[in-house]
Amino acid sequence: MITLLLAAWMSLCLPARAAEPAPAAPAAAPSVTVLKDRFIEAGSSAERTQILDQIAKTAPVSGQDVAHLFDLFSRFTDAYTRDSVMASLARIAPGSPQLEPLFMTYLRQPEPEAQLFGVNGAFRLRARAALPMIRAIAGRKFAASSVTENNMMTERNAWWTQYEALSALAQWEPEKSYSLLESKGLESAKVGALLGRYYWKQTLPKLRAWSESGDLIASERAALAVAAPIDLAAARETRAEMLKLLRDPKVDAEIRHHMALKVGVSSTDEEAAALVAQHDEAKDATERLYWATAAFSSRSPKVIPLLVRYAAQTGDEAMRKGATAQLKDMVGDAEAGKLIDAK
């Protein structure tokens, strides 16, 4: 009884425990507008680079944000700033119709910088009203085969504006735009990168003819097309055709190299094992190198024994280092060391 009374008394005499403060709400991320102001006021290039990295990760949500992005894009022509601006534009939420009129305004401006900005913004929003203007820009005759052939910045911007318009159409209206891109590929080899990326199935059968044509633009178009990244579905669909080119010793070496990479990346474990078998059957060192490239690109567990052989036995230092690095990446440093030592 005394204990209970003492406890009750102490509860009355001791001060009440202070209520725990509610957790602070997370600070709102700065807007593009705020970041742009910080960029202008930054005192060092390192600080500006940090702010540009933030801008690249921040979506514009208001007309003011878009205007500040365009101000950065037009005032600062270095690649890092412009790439950061475009990365920010790429984050625009598709359901932002309030921003469409702004990009339509930029598209109507005569300056290529404004049109380039407008093309990218309208594409991100899929603003249907902008399509006629984007088609008109894409359909112009290229002033030069390559952007580097233009000496003035305005001319380079105009070249890139047209290229970006073609890229937008290839993604936005692929079927309707194929013939346009094919015709523009005759004017600029760089369009080959778009043909390879977005029209791989149609482009693959033409690569050999382009590379063997003797025409400078056509051969460069082939090199850019074959090096373009492609979707896994496109690679799987065309794997048999790619294997034919890979097996043909008369095909251009650069094309065969990229066929090996694409075949490898698109291979199942069973197909990767078949690539290793092709490597072992090849009599010529160059041929073995193509098949090794294909096998290693698959990153299948089935190629680990071949990786070990190259890491432990090959006399080519670059291949040995490359095989060792990939083996460590796949199984870990300790296990890779054991496998190599055991060989």
d(CA 57, CA 329): 29
User: For residue 94, what pLDDT band results from cuts at 50, 70 and 90?
Assistant: confident
- What pLDDT is recorded for position 21? 53
Report the Cα 98 to chain-centroid distance in Å: 28
Q: What is the arithmetic mean of pLDDT over 120-139?
A: 96
pLDDT at position 119: 97
pLDDT (mean) for 134-154: 89
Please state, in angstroms and as integers, the Cα–Cα distance from residue 265 to each residue in 60, 205, 241, following that order: 36, 20, 15
- Comparing 24-28, 44-48, 126-130, 157-161, which segment has the lowest mean pLDDT? 24-28
Q: What pLDDT was estimated at residue 11? A: 36
Encode pLDDT of 276-328 as tens digits. 999 999 999 999 999 999 999 999 999 999 999 999 988 888 989 999 999 99
Quote the CA–CA distance of 259 and 243 in Å, as a whole number: 7
135-166 b/e with 16+ CB inside 10 Å = b?
A: bebbeeebeebebeebeeeeebbbbbbbbbbb
Helix runs in 109-250, H state only: 112-125, 131-138, 153-172, 174-185, 191-198, 200-203, 207-212, 216-227, 232-237, 239-247
Q: What distance in Å separates the CA atoms of residue 89 and residue 59, rounded to the nearest whole number? A: 7
226 with 254: CB under 8 angstroms? yes
Measured in whole angstroms, the distance separating CA 153 from the mean position of its chain's CA atoms is 25
Do the beta carbons of residue 114 and residue 126 sit within 8 Å?
no
What was the pLDDT predicted at 27? 55
For residue 218, the model assigns a pLDDT of 96
Give the Cα separation of 328 and 330 in Å (integer). 5
Q: 101 falls in which pLDDT band (50, 70, 90)?
A: very high
The whole-model pTM stands at 0.85
Position with higher pLDDT, 170 vs 338: 170
Q: Are 177 and 194 in contact (CB under 8 A)?
A: no
Query: What pLDDT does 314 receive?
Result: 83
**Average pLDDT of the segment spanning 171-191:** 97
155 vs 34: CA distance, rounded Å: 32
Question: What pLDDT score does 208 carry?
Answer: 97
pLDDT, residue 148, reads: 83
Contact 109, 70 (CB under 8 A): no
